[in-house]
Amino acid sequence: MASYALVFAVVLIGVAALFRQRLDSVQTNEVRDTLGQEWAAMKGYLQIERIPDTGKYAASWYYDKEDPDETTIVLDIKKTYVITDADGNIVLNATTKEQELSTEYEDIGIDPAYIRATVRAALADNKPRFRERRDSSGERYLMRSGIVYAVGKYDKGHGPPFYVSLGAPLGPNQRVLREFTLVYLGIIPVALILGSVVGWVMAGRALTPVLEVAQAAQRISGSNLSLRIPTRRAGDELDYLILTFNRMIERLEASFQQMKQFSTDVSHELRTPITAIRGQLEVALFTAQTTEQYREAMFNALQDIDRLSQIVRALLLLSQAESGQLALQKSRLDLCAAARDLVDQFQIPAEEAGVRLTADLPEHCFALADRVQIDRLITNLLSNAIKFTPTGGQVRLSVQEGDGEVKIIVADTGQGIPTESLPHIFDRFYRVPGSGAATAPEQGLGLGLSFVAWIVKAHKGTIDVSSTPGEGTQFTVKLPASGVGADTMESVVQVAGLRAGA
């Protein structure tokens, strides 16, 4: 603040000094112009002539004394003036015999040495000379001097040179300058105080939101991520900064939330098989008597351990995908050939489930894709469709090409998905409540569709689902056709998981 005031004061004083100097030179120039005009007029009205038979010269003023304009001009000229010969002797008036020297000039004083030098110089270059002088009271005058040649009936050509000096007081100018300085000196402290206060308020206004941002940032911790900084609705850079900051916190909050949810889900999912294993082992230890009972307990425990390791494997894949270690191996892949192979493989499980599995595939269709992940994607969709379609139903896998993309459609005539569950089916560990999957958790981990979503995203594709409960479900995956698409995997990965048997 102090440095701001100091800079402001220096600027104010600097501006004042500059302005004062400018004012001074403008005014002095004006006085010079006036003196120039007076000089020209003087040459018209003044004649220095030799007094017959004396060898002496006297000055005569020729002007119309009846004409008020001419009279004023001559009186103005004669306010501050002197006429001398080249040695500095004052010339007399031809009529009045008085010295051609005004009282004001008398007060300033004549300087014969200067007169001689001026006459010499003027004879050489005939240029006007200006200098500043002061009278006895210190009043400043600007003097213009030069030579005027004597003329007359008694001389041939022109006579000897005479020194003429006209002056004009700079006093009025000085007064203006003094007033300016006084006013400005009065204004400076006021302007300084006002400027400092306004600057203080403005700086405070500009800095308050910045401080708020800083304070809000300090308040934010892992447990307080819902905090937002209010924008000022000014639409300026600061609002943009606040908005960006808020968005950053939002993303942080979302990923914190995701992590929390994830660990809750994981511990819940792990607890179920662990409790089951514990139960089986307790049965074996405390109640089983026959070898058969022991074997059954062991068998059940093994099954649960299998499920546990599936979950762990899926989670490992998930963390790999999240940290970007699961890079896609993309190549020009014939999706139709891959789909045909998978439909063949799924014929047996479909038959076992009493579901008719058909395919509608062109001969070839190419996309830039990772074979392993595409197999996993189709496998997950097909096994879901078969799993959630009751005996007698149908599952159809079709692939269509066009508009620079390849569509993979898996449609079934199964139980469908309730509308309220649709937004969640891609969430980790989500199983539609009341569905076969939820009541028989060993049928699935609830991770398959999350992984499907990740594969689609990593291929820069999209996935849509439409479903009518009781009638069936259709998943449509769109992938960029061969040659289009990203080579790197998205860093924001939803989830990666493996389905049982995939």
- Which residues bind to ligand ADP, rule: CB under 6 A? 380, 384-385, 388, 412, 414-417, 425, 430-432, 435, 437, 444-450, 473, 499
Supply the minimum distance, in Å, between the C-beta of residue 343 and ligand ADP. 16
Please state the separation of Cα 111 from the chain's center in Å.
70
User: Please, which residue, 238 or 410, has the CB nearer to ligand ADP?
Assistant: 410
Integer-rounded Cα Rg, in Å, for the chain is: 54
Supply the minimum distance, in Å, between the C-beta of residue 466 and ligand ADP. 11
User: Please, which residue, 59 or 445, has the CB nearer to ligand ADP?
Assistant: 445
Supply the minimum distance, in Å, between the C-beta of residue 268 and ligand ADP. 14
What one-letter code names the amino acid at 269?
E
Supply the minimum distance, in Å, between the C-beta of residue 430 and ligand ADP. 6
Name the closest residue to ligand ADP (Cβ): 444
Please give the structure tokens belonging to residue 72.
């004023």
Supply the minimum distance, in Å, between the C-beta of residue 489 and ligand ADP. 20
User: Please, which residue, 73 or 437, has the CB nearer to ligand ADP?
Assistant: 437
CA terminus-to-terminus distance, the chain: 70
Q: Output phi, psi for 282, to 5 deg.
A: -65, -40
Nearest to 351 by CA among 391, 385, 404, 319: 391
Adjacency order of strands within the sheet including 46-50: 46-50, 57-61, 92-93
CB 164 within 8 A of CB 81: yes
User: Please, which residue, 92 or 411, has the CB nearer to ligand ADP?
Assistant: 411
User: Please, which residue, 284 or 438, has the CB nearer to ligand ADP?
Assistant: 438
Residue in this structure with the two tokens 């969709």, named with its chain if needed: 381
Supply the minimum distance, in Å, between the C-beta of residue 390 and ligand ADP. 11
Supply the minimum distance, in Å, between the C-beta of residue 237 and ligand ADP. 45
User: Please, which residue, 163 or 430, has the CB nearer to ligand ADP?
Assistant: 430
CB 488 within 8 A of CB 413: no
Supply the minimum distance, in Å, between the C-beta of residue 454 and ligand ADP. 11
User: Please, which residue, 143 or 350, has the CB nearer to ligand ADP?
Assistant: 350
The three-state (H, E, C) secondary structure of 262-296, written as one string:
HHHHHHHHHHHHHHHHHHHHHHHHHHCCCHHHHHH
Write out the DSSP string of 93-118. Answer: ETTT--BSB-HHHHHH---HHHHHHH
Residue in this structure with the two tokens 């059954």, named with its chain if needed: 296
Supply the minimum distance, in Å, between the C-beta of residue 402 and ligand ADP. 25
Helix axes 237-282 and 291-322, enclosed angle (nearest 10): 170
Burial class (CB in 10 A: 0-12, 13-18, 19+), 431: buried
Burial class (CB in 10 A: 0-12, 13-18, 19+), 41: middle
User: Please, which residue, 84 or 494, has the CB nearer to ligand ADP?
Assistant: 494
User: Please, which residue, 31 or 437, has the CB nearer to ligand ADP?
Assistant: 437
Please state, in angstroms and rounded to a whole number, the distance separating the CA atoms of residues 162 and 101.
14
Supply the minimum distance, in Å, between the C-beta of residue 298 and ligand ADP. 26
Helix axes 448-458 and 291-322, enclosed angle (nearest 10): 20
User: Please, which residue, 105 or 388, has the CB nearer to ligand ADP?
Assistant: 388
Please state, in angstroms and rounded to a whole number, the distance separating the CA atoms of residues 129 and 121.
9
Supply the minimum distance, in Å, between the C-beta of residue 391 and ligand ADP. 15
Helix (H, G, I), strand (E, B) or coil at 73: helix
Residue in this structure with the two tokens 């969640």, named with its chain if needed: 424
The three-state (H, E, C) secondary structure of 182-217, written as one string:
HHHHHHHHHHHHHHHHHHHHHHHHHHHHHHHHHHHH
User: Please, which residue, 192 or 502, has the CB nearer to ligand ADP?
Assistant: 502
